[in-house]
Amino acid sequence: MEKHQTPPSILPLPLEELVPLLQAWLQARLPEGERKPGRPRTFSDLSLFLFHLVRALLGFSSERMRRELARNPRLRKRLGLERVPSSATLSER
């Protein structure tokens, strides 16, 4: 079985070390969103923020990042995503 790896980048640390640090930092600073009526959100604000932050650090477009998450379940898990967010979800939130 082929091991999935993120392409080399300018990140100061490997994603395996960087993401937990970012999660801890963000959880301390992101307020919990208000509960609104309707269907509960599938993706947390933190997970989507990490998606966009890591995407920007890697220099990926949203679609390229979505493809990377689809083929790399380890990265998806590190970002706190059970599945790959749709393009609509990413643009709405």
CB atoms within 10 A of CB 49: 16
**Mean pLDDT throughout 30-51?**
77
Q: Is the distance from CB of 58 to CB of 9 less than 8 angstroms?
A: yes
**Mean pLDDT throughout 12-34?**
73
Instruction: Say what the pLDDT of residue 36 is.
Output: 66
Instruction: Say what the pLDDT of residue 4 is.
Output: 54
Q: Is the distance from CB of 60 to CB of 68 less than 8 angstroms?
A: yes
Say if residue 60's pLDDT is above 60.
yes
Instruction: Say what the pLDDT of residue 57 is.
Output: 85
Q: What is the mean pLDDT of the chain?
A: 80
Q: Is the distance from CB of 58 to CB of 11 less than 8 angstroms?
A: yes
Q: Is the distance from CB of 49 to CB of 31 less than 8 angstroms?
A: no
Say if residue 1's pLDDT is above 60.
no
